[in-house]
Structure 1
């Protein structure tokens, strides 16, 4: 099973390698001179896919139109694509754009079934954004507020169903946290990815869904899905009229977030890591990009490789308690 303490040493080694930045200018000098692929371990149409394609376009422009492509490698709750990058050659031509699900949560839930080590096998480049989940229901739902939905759940234990992008993902853990805190029984229905779960909700095949505010935004704007609450401590600026779950009686302090981050295989030349980081930061600082994503509720970050490495370790400690209390590992 993944151990928080065991990997602090691994983080220290990663940070030393980043800070030392040995003189490998020759290997990084001409980078990139071939196709760079950004692997996202989830289906097309979700938040990681959206971010990956924006980043690919920005990097290709910055790198004199050197090809940068996106490959969706969905499967095994994101572990499949993540493992592909973990085992890729550390030459800077295979990048991973993923969420805290595959780097922070999955190794704690799946244990030895995860074949990669989130600290030893990767070098973090930068966190692109952090954002809350939004709790959605179809327009046909009789619940117009979060309070009404929880009342329905209490009256009919187990009858209501809630989708997610997969067992043990951030959306699933947000649901488990809600169930535990609100004292309700809601049936979890995992899908292969965010896109599939949204499709199920659009068809009213499930009753509710926690999904990233970025993925949910188009459906909310077109009134195809109804938002009842957000998972951040406070209301989100893009949905000022939608309450936070934490505002409900007995649910104070409720918070569940999602981040999108870029990583490369461990052992990648630090100068290449820095070059990829600079391209990522250029995207985050781009006014057009900010103008597109900040209105969706996303908090754009763009922190350094060192800062992101520390964030990964902090999040492993934070979510280890949630995973333990939820009993999610026993559902597998």
Structure 2
């Protein structure tokens, strides 16, 4: 009897991987929804639709994009956190909702960025550019820092909003470089760029995707990028990290793909493979890379480690700057 039970237990162990393989092979069995927690037309929406088109072709199943904007991206993110973990509801979002919002808004955020999600892959990164008006006396980042130190409390730096990635990049720069600069939050990127071009503010961090046309038209001057290394689309613009005392400075916007926690790892791997196929497509690279986006496609484990390290980094910045926000 004991020998038969042991044999039965052994057969169950052998069957478990086979069951997981069968489930991943049959996935998806219904329409896959990619939820993006922002309005149509933005970076997450564009990335989501490119991915949906690729996955439809690979899987011969309908893949649709649903925009669920609201509450600074928290609304759509929470929808996925509470969805059935079967791989048929995915989240395409930025580090704003996974890394920054839970630290910035505290108990107002109803999901846990680590416990409620299964990271699939980091899709791409997009640096911010530190820009000044064309009329600024600062021609380099070193000159700007010197100007700020000689005139403490007199320079104004704008951003697209309180607690956003651009604002946090500024706070990290202020802390690392020892600068006394006022932060002027605007209601969006458009109004803050208008203020910069008009000379109403002295500087700002802004997405490379948004600001590059203004740089090329010489309406704004690029002094540095927030990525660890120079960006191929602005090869003559140094990274902040190149400056003495600012090594390791990094403040990129990223786009990532996640599933609800508890999703079968075999299904996560199949989604990961589909996303990598999309990111490796020469047509996709030709479409995104000229904008300054760096396409990544890493493993779920690597993406998970990035999320955890970013949460630690930005929690320290938010607490040090004493930033408080309300939804």
SS in 2 for 1:174: helix
- Please report how far the alpha carbon of residue 302 of structure 1 lies from its aligned counterpart in structure 2 after TM superposition: 0.8
CA offsets 1:260-317 (integer angstroms, 9 cap, x no match): 1100111234343233222211111111212333344433221122332233223333
CA offsets 1:53-106 (integer angstroms, 9 cap, x no match): 322232233333624224151433x32322222122333332211122322233
**Does residue 1:163 correspond to 2:159, yes or no?**
yes
**Does residue 1:255 correspond to 2:247, yes or no?**
no
- Aligned partners of 2:78, 2:27: CA distance in 1, in Å? 27
- Please report how far the alpha carbon of residue 111 of structure 1 lies from its aligned counterpart in structure 2 after TM superposition: 2.4
- Please report how far the alpha carbon of residue 32 of structure 1 lies from its aligned counterpart in structure 2 after TM superposition: 4.7
Contact preservation (8 Å) 1:202, 1:224: no
Provide the residue aligned with 1:294 in structure 2: 289
Contact preservation (8 Å) 1:79, 1:114: yes
Contact preservation (8 Å) 1:171, 1:211: yes
Question: TM-score normalised to the size of structure 2?
Answer: 0.79
CA offsets 1:192-227 (integer angstroms, 9 cap, x no match): 6xxx31443135465433233344445545555432
Contact preservation (8 Å) 1:284, 1:301: yes
Say which of 20, 23, 26 aligns to 1:23.
20
Provide the residue aligned with 1:209 in structure 2: 204
Provide the residue aligned with 1:124 in structure 2: 119
CA offsets 1:211-256 (integer angstroms, 9 cap, x no match): 3334444554555543221112332222111122233454344332
Say which of 225, 231, 237 aligns to 2:232.
237
Bigger radius of gyration? 2
- Please report how far the alpha carbon of residue 133 of structure 1 lies from its aligned counterpart in structure 2 after TM superposition: 1.8
Contact preservation (8 Å) 1:101, 1:168: no
- Please report how far the alpha carbon of residue 117 of structure 1 lies from its aligned counterpart in structure 2 after TM superposition: 0.6
Say which of 177, 181, 191 aligns to 1:182.
177
More deviation, 231-240/153-162: 153-162
Provide the residue aligned with 1:66 in structure 2: 62
More deviation, 236-245/305-314: 305-314
Provide the residue aligned with 2:8 in structure 1: none
Contact preservation (8 Å) 1:47, 1:215: no
* Structural RMSD (CA): 3.3
Runs of at least 5 residues in structure 2 that lack an aligned partner in the other structure? 1-15
User: Structure 2 vs 1, CA of residues 57 and 199 (structure 1 numbering), >3 Å: closer, same or farther?
Assistant: farther
Runs of at least 5 residues in structure 1 that lack an aligned partner in the other structure? 1-18
- Aligned partners of 2:91, 2:232: CA distance in 1, in Å? 29
Contact preservation (8 Å) 2:69, 2:76: yes
Tell me the matched-pair count.
308
CA offsets 1:163-184 (integer angstroms, 9 cap, x no match): 13x4333322211011223333
